[in-house]
């Protein structure tokens, strides 16, 4: 399983563009390539994809975590280069594209045998739970429902190995105890505190970062 951070506030690879937003490519053996969120700018998203060797046309699934523009801003431009991807959105989000297969998500669902959605938590946001050899890897957008709740729901699918994504204002850092990989991205307010408390487990996020499990 491979996760590539396509878009973030910071860069891990020189030359990639940054912006207030988040996007990650998930590649699992039993699933078409999944793009989780699309950042806030389509041109920057597509530029980073080109630099990272990611063909927009090969994305088979798009998952939108929630309706905020920093996670959906690149969607319209991306769809100009992709004619077939299924789109999973929280049930509270209205997406009207008659030529697309739009799948509203309410409760936890399997996207494939190894990739699951937590369902729309707090009525606003879904995250991904990915089964790997190391355990469940969580990919979150902004974690508005709370990192603790997201981890609890993901744990229904197996032991949680790690989490990557935006943590927003989450500060109950004890909830991260036991995780082997913590990668705070995008909107995380307490990154420095997380790194101080979990120095061995914390990984710096940024556009171009690759996580393989």
Q: What is the pLDDT of residues 161-200, one digit of tens each?
A: 999 999 999 999 999 999 999 999 999 999 999 999 999 9
User: If 0-12 CB within 10 Å is exposed, 13-18 middle and 19+ buried, where does residue 6 land?
Assistant: buried
| Two tokens, residue 94 | 């209205």
pTM: 0.96
Q: What is the DSSP letter of 11?
A: B
Please report, for residues 102, 130, 140, 146, 187, the alpha-carbon distance to residue 199 in angstroms, rounded to integers and kept in the order given: 40, 24, 21, 22, 20
Domain residue spans of the chain: 2-212
- 2-212: CATH superfamily: Ribonuclease Z/Hydroxyacylglutathione hydrolase-like (3.60.15.10)
Helix (H) or strand (E) holding 76: helix 75-79
Give the pairing of strands 128-132 and 115-117: antiparallel
Helix (H) or strand (E) holding 131: strand 128-132
Q: What is the pLDDT of residues 46-81, one digit of tens each?
A: 999 999 999 999 999 999 999 999 999 999 999 999
Q: Which of left, alpha, beta for 16 (phi over 0: left; psi -120 to 50: alpha)?
A: beta
Q: What is the pLDDT of residues 14-51, one digit of tens each?
A: 999 999 999 999 999 888 999 999 999 999 999 999 99
Neighbours of 101 (CB within 10 A): 11
Q: Is the predicted pLDDT of residue 137 greater than 70, yes or no?
A: yes
Q: What is the pLDDT of residues 85-112, one digit of tens each?
A: 999 999 887 766 666 889 999 999 999 9
Residue 91 is predicted with a pLDDT of 87
């Amino acid at each position: 399983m491979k996760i590539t951070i396509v878009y973030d506030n910071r860069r891990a690879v020189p030359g990639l563009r940054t912006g207030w937003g988040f996007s990650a490519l998930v590649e699992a053996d039993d699933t078409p390539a999944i793009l989780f969120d699309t950042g806030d700018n389509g041109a920057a998203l597509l530029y980073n994809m080109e630099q990272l060797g990611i063909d927009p046309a090969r994305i088979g699934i798009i998952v939108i975590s929630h309706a905020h523009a920093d996670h959906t801003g690149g969607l319209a431009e991306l769809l100009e280069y992709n004619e077939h991807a299924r789109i999973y959105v929280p049930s509270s989000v209205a997406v009207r594209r008659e030529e697309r297969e739009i799948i509203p998500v309410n409760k936890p669902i399997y996207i494939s045998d190894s990739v699951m959605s937590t369902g729309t938590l707090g009525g606003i946001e879904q995250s991904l739970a990915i089964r790997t050899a190391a355990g469940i890897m969580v990919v979150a957008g902004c974690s508005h429902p709370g990192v603790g709740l997201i981890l609890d729901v993901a744990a229904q699918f197996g032991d949680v190995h790690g989490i990557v994504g935006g943590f927003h204002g989450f500060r109950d850092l004890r909830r991260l105890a036991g995780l082997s990989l913590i990668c705070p991205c995008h909107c995380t307010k307490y990154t420095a505190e997380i790194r101080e408390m979990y120095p061995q487990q914390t990984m710096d996020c940024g556009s171009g970062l690759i996580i393989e499990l």
